Structure 1
Amino acid sequence: MEHVTLKALASVSHDELATILSGPPAKAAAWVAAAAHNGIVEAQAVYGQYLLDGHGVERNAGEALTWFRHAARRDHPMAMNMLGRCYEHGWGIAACAPVAVYWYRLAAQAGLDWGMYNYASALALGNGIECDRAQALQWFRRAADLGHVKSINFIGSFYEDGWEVDADTSIAFDYYRRAAQGGDFRGQFNYARLLAERGEIDAALGWLRRVPHTATAAFVAKMQAWLAASPVTAFRALAEDVRAAMNLTQESRA
């Protein structure tokens, strides 16, 4: 890794640093690492993400965890949230849902939309904490007010399923629409489902075709199974297209 001196860090301009960070990943990682080692909390959080993603450096979840912890202990909200994700998913440490919830709660209380979403999800599903859907809905609403599209989608689920509110598919439809338009793949799928229930098959197909572009492989597989079981001919045809794309992806990784 390129050696970046403290003098270089101190003298670099904002525009020069922006150019470095948007340039070759290895060079960006070297500068962020230098800033992290010199105690810059934002850099510590970013370097943790670089290590987790393997951006410009070798992927190392354990070291990423260390840097997230450094920044979280200095009250960096996103680092708190990412530390929670490490504990939830077992990245660099044994998974521990209650500890994940602890960090999500701190991130939420610090005003981070992702922290609110993750804390609310844990409350809604009883993952690492006693299920409390009323409190979960409050946090989802706070995140949604900040424009967090995954939270907007989850609120739609509350209205569709009648959790803590009277079931109302019209309100759910509106929340799913907002989430879909905001780019959330679950929102796109849910919006398409309700469009189909209204008989708007062509509109539903348009949204369903967008889902694989951003969805996880597991979610795409779930959607493909749903499409394949549909009584709608156009949906079953799309299921075949999705399955073929999934097979191509698997072959390219083999």
Structure 2
Amino acid sequence: MKFLIMTDLEGICGVDSFKQTRTNDNADKGPAMKQLARETNACIAGIRRAHPNAEVTVIDGHGSGGLFPKDLEDGEYVRYEQFQHDTLSQYRSLFYVGQHAMEGTINAPLRHTFSSVRVQYYRLNGVNIGEFGAFANWAGLNGVPTIFLAGDDKATLEAQMFVPGIETVVTKYGKGLEAAVHRPSDEVLSDIEAGAARAIERLSEIPPFVEFQPPFVFEARYYKPIDLEVWSKKPNITIIDERTIQLQTASYRELPFLNV
């Protein structure tokens, strides 16, 4: 049985500043990457508690890299941009580790939607959507339920909003954009392992998330003016204003967030 883990760096415990994540220098963000590996390994341990022979794939979903592959005690490592989306249906379920809330969420630490410096919001079929909802729906359309999330308290609430019944573990409590009260790491790791195992035990109770169905109307608003000439040449694009575009398509695969 195959399981998929999506990881990110901002939602782990011990991280509450973009200085710890918004860099290409692994020396600066190294401690955070080590913690993400520990939380990911705990998730894998929980999966193996339920399925000792499980095949686990770990997606590094942080833009500049959130994991040192050698720190993973188990599982196959793959960068998000290298993940073969056409293999998604092979997995039994999807887990999230290190997840943050979408941009615009009050008091959510390190909140953003795909890009913390470019994107003001993404909206799909009239609903604001972040990284969790975007990929959980893609998994759902491929028959894969999203059953577990570990991240800050605002990220867990976002997950529960989209997927009622999902197992969650809070790593820290957000007090602002770069402010959080962190839980002890050893407690978080223990809870992640137990929560991942419990999620598998409850697998039949959590259906695939498929709220967003075609036709898809995707809207993106950016912090800075876009290149109108470039966007005007893209198919199925309507330019709303100098910072906002809309895309209409019947194919989820064509939505920009799957091609980040």
TM-score tier, shorter chain, comes to under 0.3
More strand by share: 2
TM-score, structure 2 as length reference: 0.24
Q: Considering only CA atoms, is the larger Rg found in Structure 1 or Structure 2?
A: 1
Greater RCO structure (CA 8 Å; 6+ sep) = 2
